[in-house]
Amino acid sequence: MAVFGGRRQRGDNPALPPGQFLTGSFPVLSAGPTPSVSAADWEFTIRTETGKTHRWNWAQFMALPSEIISADIHCVTSWSKLNTAWRGVSLDTFFDDVETESDFVMAHSYGGYTTNLPLKEVLNGQAWIAHEYDGKSLDPEHGGPARLLIPHLYFWKSAKWVRGLVMQNKNAPGFWERNGYNLHGDPWREERYS
């Protein structure tokens, strides 16, 4: 019988959720071709249940207060990457003037990708629109010009090429959530699949 040795890189690293392993590279996951979105054409919107739409173009986005975010990210395919460095704008800032009674959000991306989120999990310093990775403009393969960054959930929730949030009363599923993946996606509870 063959005996598996393994690398034991996990050891007792408390930063690694169950079933995850560390990677030094930055794997890419996407379901279709990388959309080409220039900053000049980029727009981000939040639409509420009343139909009111809040809009930011790239210059307005850049004028918002940004912060450096250091985060551990966890992909549902089992890789984790610790202490990644991003720059972005907190969703709290975007939601400053938004009035809504909905409890859920559908994130929409250029290219048609969607993912659903509870509103309370993207507020209070838990989520950002990120436009830099490791001190450089975000590479299109990794979601540039701007992507969601929600490090406390599996990384498919951090929608690449994000273009807007639509408030929704029910937690309707997004793209991967309709294709076998968990509605919520907490890596610490291993909410991988539906």
Which residues lie near another protein (CB under 8 A)?
1-10, 19, 21, 23, 25-35, 77-78, 111-112, 141, 175-176, 178-180, 193-194
- What six digits make up the tokens of 106? 């559908």
The least distance separating another protein from the CB of residue 32, rounded to whole angstroms, comes to 5
The least distance separating another protein from the CB of residue 33, rounded to whole angstroms, comes to 4
Looking at the chain, how many residues does it have? Answer: 194
The least distance separating another protein from the CB of residue 189, rounded to whole angstroms, comes to 13
1, 60 Cβ separation under 8 angstroms: no
The least distance separating another protein from the CB of residue 7, rounded to whole angstroms, comes to 5
Instruction: Pick between residue 30 and residue 48 the one whose CB is nearest to another protein.
Output: 30
**Torsions phi, psi of 187, nearest 5?**
-65, -30
- What six digits make up the tokens of 170? 């029910």
Q: Longest Cα pair distance anywhere in the chain, in angstroms?
A: 64
Classified as helix, coil or strand, 49 is coil
Instruction: Pick between residue 73 and residue 122 the one whose CB is nearest to another protein.
Output: 73
Give the separation between CA 131 and CA 59, rounded to whole angstroms.
Answer: 12
Instruction: Pick between residue 9 and residue 53 the one whose CB is nearest to another protein.
Output: 9
Q: Residue 76's closest CA among 135, 149, 153?
A: 153
The least distance separating another protein from the CB of residue 18, rounded to whole angstroms, comes to 9
Instruction: Pick between residue 2 and residue 40 the one whose CB is nearest to another protein.
Output: 2
Give the separation between CA 127 and CA 191, rounded to whole angstroms.
Answer: 19
129, 146 Cβ separation under 8 angstroms: yes
The least distance separating another protein from the CB of residue 141, rounded to whole angstroms, comes to 6
Instruction: Pick between residue 3 and residue 40 the one whose CB is nearest to another protein.
Output: 3
Give the separation between CA 8 and CA 29, rounded to whole angstroms.
Answer: 25
Instruction: Pick between residue 18 and residue 51 the one whose CB is nearest to another protein.
Output: 18
